[in-house]
Amino acid sequence: MSDHPGYDQDYYLWFADQAQQLRAGKWHQLDVQHLAEELEDMGKREKRALRSRTVVLLAHLLKYAYQPEQRGPSCTGTIREQRKQLSALLADSPSLTPLLKEALNDCYLSAKMLAAGETGLGESHFPANCPFSLEQLLDEAFWPNTSLA
């Protein structure tokens, strides 16, 4: 592979070269070890994106529910955008749905800490367990009220 860019020399160029080698069927010129690592990392990034978007969505739903006087276009816009991005992520990778169901309560704990820090309300002000179902999280028509406790 001496006439091809190395993984450690030019990451972007290496990717382009590997794609070209794949399309040309030049299996013997592939950097299999690094390709396998990159594929695994891509899956991990998808899971991290799923978790991150869920935490942000949950935190904003809590803020929406527990600080109604602070509801504004920024909060509702963030909720809408996170729902849109989560829905797209799950549509592209449906196998992430069971992972999200498993991680929902863990995501909620992070979201509760985030919401507490951003609102000045104590964590104990929010429910101990996630008050939202996965269906509610993704439902564009669902907007929580303050009767979550």
Residue type, 60: H
pTM: 0.84
How many whole angstroms separate alpha carbon 13 and alpha carbon 79?
Answer: 37
Q: What distance lies between CA 42 and its chain's CA centroid?
A: 13
Sequence spans of domains, the chain: 1-30, 43-138
Per residue in 8-42, pLDDT (tens digit) is 889 999 999 999 999 999 999 999 999 999 999 99
Give tens-digit pLDDT for 96-133.
999 999 999 999 999 999 999 999 999 999 999 999 99
| pLDDT of 148 strictly over 80 | no
